[in-house]
Chain A
Amino acid sequence: MLAIFKREFSMYFKTASGYIAFAIFAFLSGYIFVSQYASGKVNIASEITNLRSFFVVLIPIVTMGLFSEDKKRGTEVLYYTTPTNIASVVIGKFLSAMALFGIMFINVLVQMFITVCSGGVIDAGTMGAIVVYFFLTALFVALGLFASAVTDSQIIAAIFSFLIILLIQLTSTISALISSTFNSFLSAKVFNIDPEKLSEFCSNVEKFINWFDPLSKTKDFRYGVFSISPLFYCACIAGLFLFLTYQVLEKKRWTQS
């Protein structure tokens, strides 16, 4: 696992992908921080929450090549024919991407330091936002890793993870849209449904879809309200996608020619 981690992590800085991701993150976080600082109201928790919207670009850049490149080059043979466990390969690659996001986060730590030096306060909300940031990163990296394992094209892996992450980030919009579509369709007179029951049904549909949304589950952390279950949920989804990645790789032994 350590070998895979070391290789993948060092490759981020031997190729352009690590630098590109770092540069995008540094620019965005710097831009948000400077504009907050200039207005005299620094809110690191809000900055971190805004930065999460750019996962849709950053996660595909960081994860797209993790498995697809091995498949394309034929280097995956090494994982299958040496006394290495495939699970440790999956975890090693996952941790290397997490470590890159950790390195990128140094930008925010520097900004926190500047804030404190300028007489600002790091409150519980900021801590909450940081905790959520890493749990969501884990979830999205696991998703990106899975996308990379199912194809041997980096581009397809990137598009796949981009779409899924976009879908997750737009869950609340999508659920509202579905609910209102149901509402307007079923309220037609032919169905003859009680409007109260219909609106209750539509709101339940919206709630049901939103239940899966990791972003809305964790939204209170930035206000300093901590709870275990949203974090557990993120960890479970991350674990599920890591497990699926492992299964995809194991299945290849049986199906590929």
Chain B
Amino acid sequence: MIEINNLVKRYGNTRAVNGISFTVNDGEVLGFLGPNGAGKSTTMNIITGYLSSTSGSVLVDGHDILEDPVAAKKNIGYLPELPPLYFDMTVREYLNFVCDLKKVPSSERKAQINKILSMVHITDYADRLIGNLSKGYKQRVGMAQAMVGDPKILILDEPTVGLDPTQIQEIRKLIRALAQNHTIIFSSHILSEVQEVCDRVVIINNGKVAAVQPISDLSKKLSGYTRLLLSFSGPIKDVSNALRSIPGITSVTERVSNVDIHEVEISVDSSTDVRSSIFYTMVRGNWPILELRSLDPTLEELFLSITSGKQGGK
């Protein structure tokens, strides 16, 4: 559905995107994962035709975005990081305007707008001014805008940023519903979000593809991670020393300390389960455990793991 070949975007001497290549299959939800400034938005802007690449090509459903832009853009609905909304229009007026831009036939327009409004749950807000809506609703109007014209591909640039947890859940639910009959590229810098929504993930860093893998492989990689957070009451030095003596624990780092409550981060050597050993050690010292839980790996750690994996393979 989308083929990206050796994409390069240069600003002066800086290369924001440096030779990115990947393909997106029909009906797939592709996660586009990377830290801020990795080149996610630039790549998405190039795919949608908002920016031109310095070199490389983007084929959307067989049409080159630069050589045959009209045919390529007909297949794409784009929600940029900042939704392109006119605050002085009502939701319905705005969607009608987008229908005009996307050349939706006037006979289909009303039905299509009503369908989209109900899909993103903003039917009750259709005649409100966009400027008066909350951030979450503005984001939904942005989603609605991308869905106008029933494009086969939806490109969503960090659609959940700045939303509250309930709104994030709703947007994810909507994406999952849309995934049934759309190809979706979805960018995020939150690992769990990508795991929840996507089939496959492209991880980029410093403008380059660090890895392309199915979400199941990513989950395996992540499950190999063992980092624990231990909160306890007791002398920090004694506890740290006792924990370090447990086989399998590689490091103990102090995170937060109050007068008698401390929090440490424990890194564990891959396959060993040290939780029961920690428990007994703490019981022997008579240091009450207030909390013990595993920590989600950060994106940086994932990158390290991917990079070190590659190095190990060599």
**What is the interface of chain A, defined by CB distance below 8 A to chain B?**
2-3, 6-7, 11, 14-15, 73-85, 253-257
Known contacts A3-B97, A80-B50, A83-B74; A74/B84 CB under 8 A = yes
B8 interface residue per 8 A CB criterion? no
A101 to chain B, nearest CB (A): 22
Known contacts A2-B100, A73-B84, A83-B103; A257/B16 CB under 8 A = yes
Chain A residues with CB under 8 A of B82? 74
Known contacts A83-B74, A257-B16; A78/B51 CB under 8 A = no
The docked-state distance in angstroms from the alpha carbon of A83 to that of B73 is 5
**What is the interface of chain B, defined by CB distance below 8 A to chain A?**
11, 16, 42, 48-52, 69-71, 73-74, 76, 78, 80, 82-89, 97-98, 100-103, 145, 149
Q: What are 6 contact pairs spanning A and B, CB under 8 A? A: A78-B101, A81-B73, A83-B69, A83-B70, A83-B102, A253-B51
Q: Say yes or no: A253 contacts B50, CB within 8 Å.
A: yes
Q: Say yes or no: A77 contacts B101, CB within 8 Å.
A: no
B82 nearest in chain A by CB position: A74
Chain B residues with CB under 8 A of A15? 88
Q: Say yes or no: A3 contacts B52, CB within 8 Å.
A: no
Chain A residues with CB under 8 A of B84? 73-78
Chain B residues with CB under 8 A of A257? 11, 16, 42
Q: Say yes or no: B50 contacts A77, CB within 8 Å.
A: yes
Chain B residues with CB under 8 A of A78? 84, 98, 101, 145
The docked-state distance in angstroms from the alpha carbon of A253 to that of B66 is 11
Which listed residue (B52, B71, B78) contacts A81, Cβ 8 A? Answer: B78
Chain A residues with CB under 8 A of B76? 81
The docked-state distance in angstroms from the alpha carbon of A11 to that of B88 is 8
A17 to chain B, nearest CB (A): 11
Q: Say yes or no: B98 contacts A82, CB within 8 Å.
A: yes
B86 nearest in chain A by CB position: A75
The docked-state distance in angstroms from the alpha carbon of A85 to that of B103 is 12
B80 nearest in chain A by CB position: A77
Q: Say yes or no: B101 contacts A82, CB within 8 Å.
A: yes
The docked-state distance in angstroms from the alpha carbon of A73 to that of B73 is 22
B145 to chain A, nearest CB (A): 8
Q: Say yes or no: B48 contacts A81, CB within 8 Å.
A: yes
The docked-state distance in angstroms from the alpha carbon of A77 to that of B85 is 10
Chain B residues with CB under 8 A of A256? 51
Chain B residues with CB under 8 A of A2? 100
Chain B residues with CB under 8 A of A7? 86, 89, 97
The docked-state distance in angstroms from the alpha carbon of A7 to that of B87 is 13
Q: Say yes or no: A254 contacts B48, CB within 8 Å.
A: no
A7 nearest in chain B by CB position: B97
B206 to chain A, nearest CB (A): 16
Known contacts A73-B86, A75-B84, A75-B85; A254/B52 CB under 8 A = yes
Chain A residues with CB under 8 A of B89? 7
Chain A residues with CB under 8 A of B145? 78
Chain B residues with CB under 8 A of A79? 101
B76 nearest in chain A by CB position: A81
Chain A residues with CB under 8 A of B101? 3, 78-79, 82-84
A61 to chain B, nearest CB (A): 17
9 tightest A-B contacts by CB?
A3-B100, A82-B101, A74-B82, A253-B52, A75-B84, A77-B84, A81-B48, A83-B70, A80-B50
The docked-state distance in angstroms from the alpha carbon of A172 to that of B123 is 60
The docked-state distance in angstroms from the alpha carbon of A135 to that of B89 is 32
The docked-state distance in angstroms from the alpha carbon of A80 to that of B101 is 10
The docked-state distance in angstroms from the alpha carbon of A79 to that of B84 is 10
Known: A82-B102, A84-B101. 18 other contacts (CB 8 A): A2-B100, A3-B100, A6-B100, A74-B82, A75-B85, A78-B98, A78-B101, A78-B145, A80-B49, A81-B48, A81-B49, A81-B73, A82-B98, A83-B101, A83-B102, A83-B103, A85-B70, A257-B42
